[in-house]
A and B are shown apart, each in its own frame.
Chain A
Amino acid sequence: MTEIAVSVLVVVGALFTFIGSLGLARLKDFYTRLHGPTKATTLGVGALLVASVIHFSSGEDMPSLHELLVTLFLFITAPVSALMLAKAALHLRVRSAASLLSGTDDDADAGEQSG
């Protein structure tokens, strides 16, 4: 029973992680590409970690919970690195598919880049 649950979770996790990476390859501009690694992977890695908890807790008298820490650190670090990347990209005026807002570092030539 636990084996089935673990297998399903691992496959689901791998699938979502794969889709996240696919997004990294397929999307058009830097900012949309940022979404892939921060997002689809949260569910992907989450499913893998739940699988790990179930696998290492079954048969033991003590539940294995340090996977929770991986989740915690991931949820703290992934958005921060994404924020820093986006901020740097705005600062360097990386080409964007979306029109940039005034108030960001780039507002002069925002109009002609939208489309």
Chain B
Amino acid sequence: MTGRVLPHPLLTVALAAIWLLLVNSFTLGQGLLGLLLGWLIPFFTQRFWPERVRIARPWWLFFFLLKVLWDILVANVTVAALILAGPRAMRPAFVSVPLDLRTDLAIGILANTISLTPGTLSAQLSPDRRSLIVHGLRVEDPELLASEIKARYERPLIQIFEPPC
């Protein structure tokens, strides 16, 4: 089993990549050192990672990231315009978004995505983990905002992390 020797293969690769970026040199030696660290660190911190991460569709994750980056770009301009227009242009509201995601990592990524895309900020996860309370800067229609978040960000995340079996 790879479970004992290599508890989190994805984390290993990610740590190795981060190491290479940290030292900012892409040589074979640094790559090997990065892989060694990527193996050792998850090995000694196993208790921090109770669930094993699996990504069902890596390419979808890639496209998801591209989409989020694009949204950040577009929406930043919108929020900048809103701020310049002054407080009168705002219509702030709290919106409760019901969640279909179940795993911690996926909920975390969704919450971060909501916070990063301007105009919305995830404020609180309900104690039963069934809904996420989102603060919107300019909310015309709370229902619409919630369904937009679900369609645009939550659905791909379900496909990536929790594909229906």
Bound CA–CA A35/B22 (angstroms): 30
B112 contacts the other chain (CB 8 A)? yes
CB-defined contacts of B139 to chain A, threshold 8 Å = 98
Question: When the two chains form their complex, are residues A69 and B26 in contact, meaning their CB atoms are under 8 A apart?
Answer: no
| Cross-interface CB contact of B92 among A23, A46, A98, cutoff 8 Å | A98
Chain B, 119-145, CB within 8 A of any chain A CB: 119, 121-124, 126, 131, 133, 135, 137, 139
Please tell me the size bucket of the interface on B: 35 or more
Describe B's contact surface by its main secondary structure: mixed
Residue A97 is within 8 A (CB to CB) of chain B in the complex: yes
Interface residues of B in 81-95 (CB under 8 A from A): 83-84, 86-87, 90, 92-95
Distance between Cα atoms of A36 and B111 in the complex (Å) = 17
B80 pairs with A98, CB closer than 8 A: no
Interface size on A, as a range, is: 35 or more
Interface of A is mostly: helix
Q: Which residues, 90 to 113 on A, are CB-close (under 8 Å) to B? A: 90, 96-101, 103-104
Which chain A positions have C-beta within 8 A of B24?
Answer: 62, 64-66
Q: How far is the CA of A46 from the CA of B71 in the complex (A)?
A: 13
Q: Does B73 contact A (CB under 8 A)?
A: yes
Identify the interface centre among B73, B90, B123, B139: most chain A CB within 10 Å of its CB. B123
Can you list 17 A-B contacts with CB-CB less than 8 angstroms, sorted by A residue number?
Answer: A22-B83, A23-B83, A29-B92, A32-B87, A32-B92, A35-B135, A38-B116, A38-B121, A39-B119, A40-B76, A66-B21, A83-B122, A83-B123, A86-B135, A90-B133, A96-B92, A103-B126
Q: A residues near B, CB below 8 A?
A: 16, 19-20, 22-23, 26-29, 31-32, 34-36, 38-40, 42-43, 46, 62, 64-66, 68-69, 72, 75-76, 78-80, 82-83, 86-87, 90, 96-101, 103-104
